[in-house]
Amino acid sequence: AIRAVGGDAAIGGLGASEGRVPGGEQVPVTLGGTVAEYRALLDRLRAREGGGFAGVAADIADRLGLDEGDGPVVGESEGGGSAGSGPEDGDDSAPGGDADAGGSPPDYPWTDGTAVMGVLNVTPDSFHDGGRHEALEDAIAGAERMVEAGVDVVDVGGESTRPGADPVTVDEEIDRVVPTIEAVRSVPAVADGDVLISVDTRKAPVAEAALEAGADVINDVTGLEDPAMREVVAEADCPVVVMHSLDAPVDPTNDPEYDDVVGDVIESLRERLSLADTAGIDRDKVIVDPGLGFGKSAAEAFELIDRIGEFAALDCPVLVGHSHKSMFGAVDREPSDREHATVAATALAADRGADLVRVHDAAENRAAVDVAAAVNGTLRGGGDADGGDRDGADAPDE
């Protein structure tokens, strides 16, 4: 479990990757990690039922002097809050969950296992679903399908960031996203606050208009590069996705060299978090995104997924956006045949500690997230990872 959040372990003098200890023999285990990674580990252990995990968590916390009140760190800053959106902390009207009487932040989807963000592009030229939801009735139907499939967030986008995409004016982008957000807001689960709306934009005026129309989250592919965007987010006190990118739209001729892609991206995001702090953005409202496909090779994108747990060092929830991207060409998948590869990567990202996954195929990726949660013991929403019939009742028909 500690490796899933970025730490490491050695079992009985062996590396953790060298295999399991046979026969249930008890052997010493040496754990290594940052304080943030240990707190994330404690969160996972406390979420598991049975098996003595709570006792193990208590022992680790006692040895490290980490009280249970310190709480989970994935998505939590030293200030003690977790990512949230909407009205101020403690306001019962905040979407996504009610604050408790003690003023704790509401319980948003990404604080309770891996959340699924469904992509709803209202563009003619997005690389996967361009033109599919341009008509308002198609956008509403698409959002309803996503909600039915179990998404936690609907991400509305009005400008493609694919290589060679045509630029879109502020007015044109607003004309695309605002009516869509207003319409999606009428979907019952969204109106009730069970599903949030985010807007995928790099333009401050679009973000401001989207928030006024009912968006809950800003998803900025430029990582708050524009001071005006930082001002909008700070004023709205809303959650924001801060993505690592070298250019948007993507410039395929930009071929950067990283000393260590994970370490370099973490340090770059740390600088963006500092800008957010200076602008007055609540750190508890920031979600980080390593930016797969934006200035990374396929190998680097896969490495980022494999090591996603290391981003817990930033004390922010982590979003992975990998859906149908060119990285899957490295495993011989054509652009029209990347759904299954995307679902496989979703399961891996969720298992390794991603707090959100941004995907096009909602039902398939929801299932992948739920299976990963069942495997690591964090299945939410009424599922029973310990259930099932041991006498063969669940076996397939002969």
In this structure, what are the phi and psi dihedrals at residue 364, rounded to the nearest 5 degrees?
Answer: -65, -40
Helix (H, G, I), strand (E, B) or coil at 145: helix
Q: Is the pLDDT of residue 287 over 80?
A: yes
DSSP string, 60-100: HHHHHT--GGG---TTB-TTS-B---SSPTT-TT-TTS---
pLDDT for residue 50: 57
In a domain, 93, yes or no: no
Contacts of 279 (CB under 8 A, 6+ apart): 224, 227, 230, 231, 233, 234
Question: Which CATH number is 372's domain given?
Answer: 3.20.20.20
Tokens, residue 56: 């193990």
Q: Is the pLDDT of residue 370 over 90?
A: yes
**Helix, strand, coil tally for the chain in percent (to 5):** 40, 10, 45
- Tell whether 120 and 267 lie within a shared domain: yes
- Give the pairing type, strands 8-11 and 29-32: antiparallel
> 202, 203, 272, 358: which one is catalytic?
358
Write down the pTM of the prediction. Answer: 0.71
Tokens, residue 207: 């973000």
pLDDT for residue 209: 98
Q: Is the pLDDT of residue 52 over 80?
A: no
- Tell whether 47 and 121 lie within a shared domain: no
Mean pLDDT calculated for residue range 319-337: 83
In a domain, 79, yes or no: no
DSSP category for residue 33: -
Q: Is 296 an active-site residue?
A: no
Of 246 and 151, the structure prediction assigns the larger pLDDT to: 151
DSSP string, 294-356: SS--HHHHHHHHHTGGGGGGG-S-BEEE-TT-GGGGGGT--TTS-HHHHHHHHHHHHHTT-SE
Q: Is the pLDDT of residue 93 over 70?
A: no
Residue 333 pLDDT class (50, 70, 90 cuts): confident
Nearest to 155 by CA among 181, 134, 131: 181
- Tell whether 271 and 346 lie within a shared domain: yes
- Tell whether 302 and 164 lie within a shared domain: yes
Helix (H, G, I), strand (E, B) or coil at 293: coil
Q: Is 203 an active-site residue?
A: no
**Per mean pLDDT, which range of 126-130, 323-327, 344-348 is the poorest?**
126-130
Of 275 and 394, the structure prediction assigns the larger pLDDT to: 275
Mean pLDDT calculated for residue range 214-234: 97
**Per mean pLDDT, which range of 3-17, 161-175, 316-330, 351-365 is the poorest?**
3-17
Of 110 and 99, the structure prediction assigns the larger pLDDT to: 110
Task: Name residue 303's amino acid.
Answer: E
Of 380 and 261, the structure prediction assigns the larger pLDDT to: 261
Angle ∠(373,378,380) on CA atoms, nearest 5 = 90
pLDDT for residue 66: 76
Mean pLDDT calculated for residue range 72-87: 36
Q: Report d(CA 35, CA 45) in Å as an integer.
A: 15
- Tell whether 120 and 59 lie within a shared domain: no
> 325, 338, 352, 366: which one is catalytic?
325
Domain boundary among 70, 96, 128: 70
- Give the pairing type, strands 196-200 and 29-32: unpaired
Q: Cβ of 31: how many Cβ atoms within 10 Å?
A: 18
For the chain, what is the mean pLDDT? 80
Mean pLDDT calculated for residue range 206-220: 98
- Tell whether 252 and 198 lie within a shared domain: yes
pLDDT for residue 43: 77
pLDDT for residue 87: 35
In a domain, 391, yes or no: no
> For residue 345, what are the domain limits?
109-376
Measuring CA to CA, how many Å separate 12 from each of 3, 38, 325? 16, 20, 41
In a domain, 256, yes or no: yes
Strands (E), 186-228: 196-200, 217-220
In a domain, 47, yes or no: yes
- Tell whether 263 and 350 lie within a shared domain: yes
Tokens, residue 278: 């200076």
The helix (run of H) or strand (run of E) holding residue 241 is: strand 240-243
In a domain, 361, yes or no: yes
Q: Is the pLDDT of residue 10 over 70?
A: no
Total tally of structural domains belonging to the chain: 2
pLDDT for residue 132: 57
